Structure 1
Amino acid sequence: MAAGCAGSGAASQASGGPSAGRANEAAPAVRETAAARPEATSEGSARSSSSVEDVLAGMSTEEKVGQLFMPVLYGSSATASSGENQARFGAATPAKVIAKYRPGGVILFPWADNVKNVRQLVALTNGMQKASPEIPLLVGADQENGQISRLAPLVTELPAAKVIGSTGDPSLARRAAEVTGTELRALGVNLDFAPVADVNVNPRNPVIGPRAYGSDPKKVAPMVAAAVRGFHDAGVAATAKHFPGHGDTSVDSHTGLPVIEHSRSQWSKLDAPPFAAAIEADVDAIMSAHVVMPKLDPSGDPATLSKPILTGLLREKLGFEGVVSTDALNMAGVREKYGDGEVAVRAVLAGADLLLMPPDYPKAHGAVLAAVRSGRISGERLDESVRRLLKLKAARGLLAKAPVADPAEAERVLRSAAHRKVASLITSRAR
């Protein structure tokens, strides 16, 4: 189970200061070949344009709205028909769903029949990218390691964040993230919903616990920053979660709506530092939490739907300019007050850019499109989100041309001896 980790499988369908520079850290765990990992570029597009702005200018309103969504698509192949896809999306295969809605990305889960073996998964990610020829997809996974490991047993089994945090060595957080990122990249996954930036101060927390690096923000912050840098070393986008902080809850936001009574001062001292460190490390995305913090926003809305939190605190106070992702929109914590279409609209109005796992994708897509056409979501506001998403893709080398994963290279990289050695090293240094 995992709040802020893009859902928790079948259960969630029904209802997670910057570190010192590289000089003080160990060498990278492994390096890919240049062919396997294209260099990141700041600009470019698949429409023969020279900049993100050119790509944005060439998009229709429907294409722009599509970029905001990251659904789960069902099946082990991009071209295999699925009754689940037909029932949910009105299109039988993942490729046809992508062609119909033109989402900005997709997220992978074993319970959606996405993850069986290395060659199958490589073929799936390559096939989905082929179905989105104009603007390559963000292909996301919820690979935190520890108890949240959606791509197990294909990838190297690395210790949970709590174990890494216990070593007191941020360089190990960086090496672990680089190992994970390298393996994800080899599979065709370019965005990880990690690291967890929560400070786990509540021992009764039912959903964070060992997923956090610890209970001291001064120790958690450098671990988070180091992990972000490790993902970047591997050429993969990183996501810090769950803003503004999910560490002091006794309710699981998959099944309810947690309320955290931290004052603004407490939040600044306890919850904010790891997110500030992630931003300093140039984190690509920050995921919202389905938690209510009445001292930060008295409306009673969860942070995912809170403009004072997502725009006021995250954008204006902390200065974050990257992509804001919602936590999974199929979770009870965000569905209690509004319908599935309205939730998507309110998330965008609050400041979210990426709408993760809407439980009714056609309804959410239609609601956002209608809100744009009516002016409730302005064209300028829509462009802000799409621009951030395109910049993320460009920054990680994904906009000019989708990388094509090589199954033989993936089999060589995944669970390699070098990667298993890093896992053993972390375990040996844990306290």
Structure 2
Amino acid sequence: MSTSDLSRRSVLAGSLAAAAVGATATGASATGGDAGSAGHPGSHGPKGREHAWVTSTLRRMTLEEKVGQLFVQNVYGSDATTPDDRNLPLYGVASPAEVVRKYHLGGVIYFAWTDSVRDPDQIVGLSNGLQRAALTQRSKVRVPLSISTDQEQGVVTRIGPPATQFPGSMALGAGRSAADARTAAAITGRELLAMGVNTNFAPDCDVNVNPLNPVIGTRSFSSRPDLAAQLAAAQVAGYQRDGGVASSAKHFPGHGDTATDSHVAFPVITHTREQWETIDAPPFRAAIREQIDMIMTAHLSFPALDDSGNPATLSHPILTGLLREELGYTGVIITDSLAMQGVRDLYGDAEVAVRALLAGVDQLLMTPAMDDAYAAVIEAVRTRRLSTRALDEKVARVLHLKYRRGMVARPFADPRAVARSVGTPRNLAAAASVTDRTTTVVKNDDAVLPFAPKGRKVLVTGYGATTTATIAAALGAQGATTTTVETGTSPTDATVSRSVAAAAGQDLVVVTTMKAWDTSVTDPKGGQQKLVKALLASGTPVVVVSVRDPYDIAYFTDAPTYVATYSYSPVAIEAAARILTGASSPTATLPVDIPAAGDPGTILYPFGHGLTY
């Protein structure tokens, strides 16, 4: 039996509530429907005005402009008009503004590696510059850009401090509070919008039933579909209703039970159709009921839903038959990055773009061959491989989203408002309060916690220069004398020996681990496991703090004290320090099962386990 099968077995027993969620879903329509669903031409209300703007704009667009709305691309550069040579091989022009104008882009996406997100003032300047480029090009229409990023929080956070940070989805799952999940999304959304970012590719709706999942993990709320659905719905409301940004549920039809990373390979999900209904579908159904603006596709094969071998991104049965027709979703469908290997194995980049649109996709994210893909889509329309009607329906969905989410009425952000909107004391206090309710004490066998730090000597060692420094600073502020030995994700034997030597004479050792279970990629020589075991043998009391996946404890079960933060974001580490010292009382419980190492059918610590004091 495969690891995937065993992980499913452990979750199915707890999935009856989720099955009820799926069975009672209404399939309500989402925002961003086609031109015929948004209102009546004769209406003078908001729906009528929306309908009039969409149909009028669509009627006046050229073929090239329509096709451009289907692409969302990354552009290099920290401002819109300064040339950046990294754009040349991708687009043939140098500045981000020129890229937007050349293709009449529908949207752009921001990353740190493209220099898009240095600080809030720079971000708002870039956003406004790109909007200016979109709205001032020679055209009969004025269509603003969707400006997007992946601010899931936790391990997928594109914009760091001073923007308010939260610990991410699995931490919120540990906290069990839909109100906290909504608060985190609302604050994140409002701050993004203040920086001119009007679209967030979140929340992650995958149900992480496979502890060996290398790409989802703590990006998921839980291994339980009902909890994941509840918190996903809360975050959609937080982003869209409270924060004013478009949000995107990902990765349809579900990426939670794979041990393969679709960035570098092609995963296959072996769930049956019944298992998809009970495990994978509930969060997406819940997001649709909350009128999610966008749903992002997954680059994986799901034979029970489509046995053609195509990835879901290119699957008509999955995107049109299942998502559109069965679930009743009428919003925008966007691909995951088309630069990922999971969608590039079967076809060339230009053909991938056309096939995705034929399958039911509305927008193409980060195609790596823009000239070829843009030309291929235009040619597909001219040769009627992609009908003009289908093209217009896709563009109309994009335009409806932009109108309803306020991009048309308010394309620009106010640079003067950034300082009073982003990383405010009120937002930071809310984030700290939410995060205090997410740290889980899994083991405290020797009653080491809470630890009174005043006048005590503490070694802080393990993963992360910022992580270890943050814990040391927090304990030091409460009177401890701290020593820090940072080891990285794959400590050598020499580093392990140095940490053990530093433990001598200490009153306590706090050791942080980050995916210590992953000896295939993160820590191929198992150095973190060696470190923890050597410290446990030193005779000094040890507290293990996992700062990402909670599953690490399975690989050093003799550790008497174990705390899970689900995130190495400083806000999560500061909360963990308060838990260690008793400044906060732990209330969070595990949002997943923790199985035994090498035996996922045996559960060491079940969903819902957690200690307090």
| TM-score for both structures, normalised by structure 1 | 0.88
Q: Does the 8 A contact of 2:255 with 2:298 survive in 1?
A: yes
Query: Could you tell me which amino acid in structure 1 is paired with residue 68 of structure 2?
Result: G
Aligned position for 1:58: 60
For the residues of structure 2 that align with 1:41 and 1:173, how far apart are their CA atoms? 30
1:119-268 equivalences in 2 (<5 Å): 119-133=121-135, 134-232=142-240, 233-268=242-277
Q: Does the 8 A contact of 2:80 with 2:130 survive in 1?
A: yes
For the residues of structure 1 that align with 2:164 and 2:80, how far apart are their CA atoms? 25
Aligned position for 2:346: 337
For the residues of structure 2 that align with 1:295 and 1:128, how far apart are their CA atoms? 42
Q: Does the 8 A contact of 1:41 with 1:397 survive in 2?
A: no
Q: Does the 8 A contact of 1:42 with 1:394 survive in 2?
A: no
1:81 Cα deviation after fit = 0.5
- Please state whether the residue corresponding to 2:113 is helix, strand or coil: helix
1:50 Cα deviation after fit = 3.5
**1:406 and 2:414 equivalent?**
yes
Query: Could you tell me which amino acid in structure 1 is paired with residue 61 of structure 2?
Result: M
Query: Could you tell me which amino acid in structure 1 is paired with residue 111 of structure 2?
Result: F
Question: What's the CA shift string for 1:167-192, capped at 9, x where partnerless?
Answer: 11111110000010000000000000
For the residues of structure 2 that align with 1:382 and 1:340, how far apart are their CA atoms? 19
Query: Could you tell me which amino acid in structure 1 is paired with residue 105 of structure 2?
Result: P
Question: What's the CA shift string for 1:5-26, capped at 9, x where partnerless?
Answer: xxxxxxxxxxxx59xxxxxxxx
1:125 Cα deviation after fit = 0.2
Question: What's the CA shift string for 1:140-196, capped at 9, x where partnerless?
Answer: 011000010011134111111001011111111100000100000000000000000
1:335 Cα deviation after fit = 0.4
- Please state whether the residue corresponding to 1:311 is helix, strand or coil: helix
1:41 Cα deviation after fit = 5.7
Q: Does the 8 A contact of 2:203 with 2:250 survive in 1?
A: yes
**1:370 and 2:379 equivalent?**
yes
Question: What's the CA shift string for 1:27-50, capped at 9, x where partnerless?
Answer: xxxxxxxxxxxxx965658xxx93
**1:273 and 2:273 equivalent?**
no
For the residues of structure 2 that align with 1:165 and 1:140, how far apart are their CA atoms? 25
Q: Does the 8 A contact of 2:120 with 2:163 survive in 1?
A: no
**Runs in 1 of length 4+ with deviation above 2 angstroms?**
40-45
> How high is the sequence identity, in percent, across the aligned residues?
50
Q: Does the 8 A contact of 2:90 with 2:368 survive in 1?
A: no
- Please state whether the residue corresponding to 1:368 is helix, strand or coil: helix
Q: Does the 8 A contact of 1:143 with 1:150 survive in 2?
A: yes
Q: Single out whichever of 328-337 and 117-126 deviates more from structure 2.
A: 117-126
For the residues of structure 1 that align with 2:99 and 2:47, how far apart are their CA atoms? 29
Aligned position for 2:105: 103
For the residues of structure 1 that align with 2:228 and 2:308, how far apart are their CA atoms? 30
For the residues of structure 1 that align with 2:46 and 2:109, how far apart are their CA atoms? 23
Question: What's the CA shift string for 1:291-321, capped at 9, x where partnerless?
Answer: 1001110000110000000011111111100
- Please state whether the residue corresponding to 1:131 is helix, strand or coil: helix
Aligned position for 2:389: 380
Alignment length (residue pairs): 390
For the residues of structure 2 that align with 1:405 and 1:61, how far apart are their CA atoms? 30
1:410 Cα deviation after fit = 1.1
Query: Could you tell me which amino acid in structure 1 is paired with residue 381 of structure 2?
Result: V
Query: Could you tell me which amino acid in structure 1 is paired with residue 132 of structure 2?
Result: K
Q: Does the 8 A contact of 1:42 with 1:391 survive in 2?
A: no
Q: Does the 8 A contact of 1:259 with 1:291 survive in 2?
A: yes
1:67 to 62, 66, 69: 69
2:323 to 310, 314, 332: 314
For the residues of structure 1 that align with 2:151 and 2:397, how far apart are their CA atoms? 23
1:408 Cα deviation after fit = 2.6
For the residues of structure 1 that align with 2:162 and 2:148, how far apart are their CA atoms? 16
Query: Could you tell me which amino acid in structure 2 is paired with residue 201 of structure 1?
Result: V
For the residues of structure 2 that align with 1:128 and 1:42, how far apart are their CA atoms? 28
Aligned position for 2:8: none
2:432 to 402, 409, 424: 424
For the residues of structure 2 that align with 1:41 and 1:408, how far apart are their CA atoms? 29
- Please state whether the residue corresponding to 2:52 is helix, strand or coil: coil
1:417 Cα deviation after fit = 1.2
1:298 to 307, 311, 316: 307
For the residues of structure 1 that align with 2:350 and 2:46, how far apart are their CA atoms? 35
For the residues of structure 1 that align with 2:407 and 2:47, how far apart are their CA atoms? 10
Query: Could you tell me which amino acid in structure 1 is paired with residue 183 of structure 2?
Result: R
Q: Does the 8 A contact of 1:43 with 1:391 survive in 2?
A: no
1:364 Cα deviation after fit = 1.0
Query: Could you tell me which amino acid in structure 1 is paired with residue 280 of structure 2?
Result: D
Provide structure 1 residue ranges, at least 5 long, that are not aligned to the other structure.
1-16, 19-39
Provide structure 2 residue ranges, at least 5 long, that are not aligned to the other structure.
1-20, 23-44, 136-141, 439-587, 589-613
Structure with the greater relative contact order (CA < 8 A, sep ≥ 6): 1 or 2?
Answer: 1
Q: Does the 8 A contact of 1:43 with 1:52 survive in 2?
A: no
The structure richer in strand per residue is: 2
Aligned position for 1:6: none
Q: Is the alpha carbon distance of 1:282 and 1:257 closer, same or farther for their aligned partners in structure 2, counting shifts above 3 Å? A: same
- Please state whether the residue corresponding to 2:271 is helix, strand or coil: coil
Q: Does the 8 A contact of 2:208 with 2:223 survive in 1?
A: yes
1:402 Cα deviation after fit = 4.1
Question: What's the CA shift string for 1:88-139, capped at 9, x where partnerless?
Answer: 2111211111111101110011101111122111110000000011100000
| TM-score for both structures, normalised by structure 2 | 0.62
**1:93 and 2:102 equivalent?**
no
